[in-house]
Amino acid sequence: MIFMETSGSIIGGIAEKVTTITVLGIFLNYFMKELKSLQSLREQDKKESDKKFEQIFNRQYEIERQNIEAISRQSDTNLRLTEAINNLSERIENIRD
């Protein structure tokens, strides 16, 4: 009888531990799947964010390039106008003389 009680408590203790380990294993498995899912979503978000940043950067670069070209054209126009004014000034001086 004592042996039955002892073996029953041993088996009950082992069953409790096996149940605890099984539940922890199931929880760990679920947790790892959720973690992998979140990591995948995070990687997708990062890729999308990087793509948007690159698009914004490229757009900004193009705007800056166009601004530089416009400034260069304006500078060329100013130089031609200055030359034209100087030529007209010389002609006026030559006419006066």
Longest C-alpha distance within the chain, in Å?
141
CA atoms within 13 A on the CB side of 93: 6
What integer best gives the mean pLDDT of the chain?
90
pTM of the model: 0.54
93: its two tokens: 């001086």
Model confidence at 7, pLDDT cuts 50, 70, 90, reads low
8 has a pLDDT exceeding 80: no
User: Angle at Cα 54 formed by Cα 43 and Cα 59, nearest 5°?
Assistant: 155
